[in-house]
Amino acid sequence: MKDRVAEVQLTAESWSPQQVLAWAFETFGNAVAISSAFGAEGMVLIDIASRLRKDFRLFTVDTEFLFSETYNLMDRIEQKYEIKIERVFSLLSPEEQERVHGAALWTRDPDQCCNLRKVEPLRRKLGELRAWITSIRRDQTLIREGARKVHWDAKFGLVKVNPIADWTSKQVWRYLHEHDVPYNSLHDQNYPSIGCTHCTRAVRPGEDPRAGRWPGTGKTECGLHVIEIQPLRQSPEAEA
């Protein structure tokens, strides 16, 4: 599969999100799914996917610490797109986590909390797939700068597809408004990036859009998106 990625990687960089998604659906069939936490970018992907294939797979890692606005959006997505969101949970309920690791683990060791509630459940889910689709954009964080539209995810051992890697936030919002796509109402209350209730706050004027995630900890990612910077290789056809 790594060879397959190398073949299309460079070509895919010029594809539109629709083309990238169509390629992923065609190549992986039912073994590819969109992973989403239902931020603005995720909603763009879900809407585009729904226009290509009615029965696309969509999953979310539900930490059980999400905002009620996020759960509300999930209900609206299921109704509008007539799909069932596949929800993946931690092996530990919030109560069990507190019993085993103590109260408010997120304040003492957010990396461990994210590992228990996000990374391990994601790894379990990805174990049943050959490729996953995410809505990360290159200009969101330094780590994400290296994302390709199609690349090999060495951390989880499958193909990772990022159809809107080269989009700007402006393009995302233009798409949402032009296509009347539902979005999380917290975005209108200065929450550009939304995660768990314990680790997300509204941003203040002039702050980085991700300043509201794990504020004061120096943490910027939950460990789901680790990107190896790979040189883009020419496909054999392109080299010819």
**Which parts of this chain interact with ligand SF4 (CB under 6 A)?**
63, 65, 106, 110, 113-114, 117-118, 195-196, 198-199, 222
The single-letter DSSP state of residue 53 is -
Residue in 113, 196, 199, 222 annotated catalytic: 222
Token pair belonging to 158: 């499958």
Nearer to ligand SF4, 83 or 143 (CB): 143
Do 108 and 119 contact (CB within 8 A), yes or no? no
Respond yes or no: is residue 196 known to be catalytic.
no
C-beta of 4: minimal distance to ligand SF4 in Å? 33
Q: Which is nearer to ligand SF4, 125 or 149 (CB)?
A: 125
Q: How far is CA 123 from CA 96, 117, 200, 203, 227, in A?
A: 20, 11, 23, 30, 15
Please state the closest distance from residue 200 (CB atom) to ligand SF4, in A. 7
* Region of residue 137 (left: phi > 0; alpha: psi -120 to 50; beta: else): beta
**Which CB, 45 or 199, lies closer to ligand SF4?**
199
Give SS3 for 135: coil
> Cβ of residue 206: shortest distance to ligand SF4, in angstroms?
24
Q: Which is nearer to ligand SF4, 118 or 138 (CB)?
A: 118
Residue 148: exposed, middle, or buried by beta-carbon count in 10 A (0-12, 13-18, 19+)?
Answer: buried
- How near is the Cβ of 239 to ligand SF4 at its closest, in Å? 43
Q: Which residues are the active-site residues? A: 222
